[in-house]
């Protein structure tokens, strides 16, 4: 490993711990829930370990995977590593993935009758820009290979998905992008729940189309 790659890996370790602490301290994750991963220049990945609070991550003990998806160093990885690898497998430009059990997003995933092709309406421009369309993945147990396959089937067309009774999985070109998109999703879910039962005015299809064209959104 060259010095430049070693520096990049150490920087990724530090960034994961910093983002995990920020998410935990703001109540977007709790207990030992949620996980973060970053794609490395080596072709492998760093991921948060199992049964560890995101508020207390040790950069040196993060789980390291090689380019074939094999755990080669660090603590025992999260059982939801398969979700991350499924997302990376379909999104070659993904540099990071964030998966949370954030309260409002999970609450929306429990509502009967939401559109499984696009769970949340386009309430704000930034939701359209950072998240876009949000499909719902039917419930499967955490860590189940079938859950990873279900995510993989949607990941080619969607960088964000919502797992029923579970939470969001969001990819970004960088860790910051994945973090911001996950936070935007959570805030939009919060708005959606706050406005339940009220007459609302989401963005029109024409306004959404304009944003997609204006910002070259997929």
- Homologous superfamily in CATH for domain 3-214: Class II aldolase/adducin N-terminal domain (3.40.225.10)
From 56, 80, 88, 146, the catalytic residue: 80
- pLDDT at 3 (0 to 100): 77
Q: Give strand pairing partners of 96.
A: 38, 172
Does the pTM surpass 0.85? The reply is yes
Give the count of alpha carbons within 13 A of 98, CB side only: 30
- Cβ neighbours of 30 (radius 10 Å): 16
Mean pLDDT, to the nearest integer, of 40-56? 96
Q: Which helix (H) or strand (E) holds 4?
A: helix 3-25
From 25, 41, 56, 126, the catalytic residue: 126
pLDDT of 131-177, one tens digit each? 999 999 999 999 999 999 999 999 999 999 999 999 999 999 999 99
Query: Which residue is listed with tokens 């949620």?
Result: 34
Q: Identify whether 183 is a catalytic site residue.
A: no
- Residue ranges of domains in the chain: 3-214
Instruction: Kindly indicate the confidence band of residue 23, based on its pLDDT and cuts at 50, 70 and 90.
Output: very high
Asked if 172 and 179 count as a contact pair (C-beta separation under 8 A), the reply is yes
Q: Identify whether 126 is a catalytic site residue.
A: yes
- Cβ neighbours of 131 (radius 10 Å): 23
| Angstrom distance (rounded) from CA 210 to CA 214 | 6
């Amino acid at each position: 490993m060259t010095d430049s790659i070693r520096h990049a890996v150490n920087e990724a370790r530090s960034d994961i711990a910093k983002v995990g602490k920020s998410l935990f301290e703001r109540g977007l994750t709790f207990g030992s829930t949620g996980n973060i991963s970053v794609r490395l220049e080596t072709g492998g990945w760093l991921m948060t370990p199992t049964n560890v609070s995101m508020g207390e991550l040790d950069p040196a003990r993060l789980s390291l995977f090689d380019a074939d998806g094999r755990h080669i160093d660090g603590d025992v990885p999260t059982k939801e590593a398969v979700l991350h690898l499924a997302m990376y497998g379909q999104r070659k430009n993904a540099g990071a993935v964030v998966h949370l059990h954030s309260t409002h997003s999970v609450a929306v995933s429990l509502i009967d009758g939401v559109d499984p092709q696009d769970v949340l309406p386009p309430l704000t421009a930034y939701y359209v820009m950072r998240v876009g369309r949000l499909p719902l993945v039917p419930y499967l147990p955490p860590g189940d290979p079938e859950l990873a396959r279900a995510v993989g089937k949607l990941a080619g067309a969607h960088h964000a998905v919502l797992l029923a009774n579970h939470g969001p999985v969001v990819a970004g070109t960088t860790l910051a992008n994945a973090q911001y998109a996950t936070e935007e999703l959570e805030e939009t879910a919060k708005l959606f729940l706050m406005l339940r039962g009220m007459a609302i005015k989401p963005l029109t299809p024409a306004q959404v189309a304009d944003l997609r064209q204006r910002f070259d959104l997929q």
